[in-house]
Amino acid sequence: MISRRNRPNSKRFRLTIIALVVGITSGALLFDEFVKDHVIIRKFGVVETGQITRSGRMTPSTMRKVHDRSHAKTMIDLGMYKTGTPDEIAAQETADELGMVRHRLFLRGDGTGNPNYYVHALRLMTDPDNLPVHVHCNAGAQRTSVAIILYRVIIQGQTIPEAYPEAFNYGHHPSKDWILLHYVTTWLEPIRQAYATGGWIEGFDIPEDAIAMGYEAPIVEAAPEIGSP
């Protein structure tokens, strides 16, 4: 029989367990907030083996991991950091250090925005001189998914129902982020036409990036009659 003196102190035991749970939870939150993006590539995926990869936000350390893993020559940033921020400056410096050409096409977090940016992204993704290409945004769920869906449909010949479910693997939620599918179905044909003709969609700015590459006299395509995003 255990004497009163030798019985475990149940109150102290409970406090110890609570402290451990709090410590583990706090550690996990701190890891996720301050460490994870430095050691784990957010939502990394292969679109075309040896040619196109994708991900979410990168720090300089994970950008180096992406480069080591994909040997990316070109990086298409669809909206990772705001212009002029320390993170944006560090991203550009890291790309320069690694010898990657970095194109910034700033779109909205829900995947919408200037459709000419997606036209330009497709041209960058399909130019053999740019390969391998890495496409990314911030979360890796919406903007990057739109670019990849357009690539699957316009370049590879898939249908939207065939290409769309891939986005589910990268954090896209159809019920919550329904505007993504609306955007793709609205702008698919104008983007397809602009890509095919070497032109641009009427009523939207041409990416400065594209003008610098020689697209100063674009062929203009009509915008769709249904509501713009």
Which pLDDT value is given to residue 135?
98
DSSP conformational letter for 57? -
> How much is the pTM?
0.80
Which pLDDT value is given to residue 20?
58
Which pLDDT value is given to residue 71?
96
Instruction: Identify the CA nearest to 59 among candidates 78, 86, 83.
Output: 86
> Within a 13 Å sphere around the CA of 16, how many CA atoms are in the beta-carbon half?
6
> Domains in the chain, please, with CATH?
15-216 (3.90.190.10)
Which pLDDT value is given to residue 221?
52
What average pLDDT values come out for the chain (229 residues) when binned by 10 residues? 55 61 47 55 95 96 96 96 93 97 96 97 96 97 98 98 98 95 97 93 91 65 47
The answer for residues whose C-beta is within 8 angstroms of residue 190's C-beta and 6 or more apart is 115, 201, 221, 222, 223, 224
The answer for residues whose C-beta is within 8 angstroms of residue 82's C-beta and 6 or more apart is 88
Which pLDDT value is given to residue 56?
96
Which pLDDT value is given to residue 59?
95
Burial 117-148 (b: 16+ CB within 10 A, else e): bbbbbbbbbbeeebbbbbbbbbbbbbbbbbbb
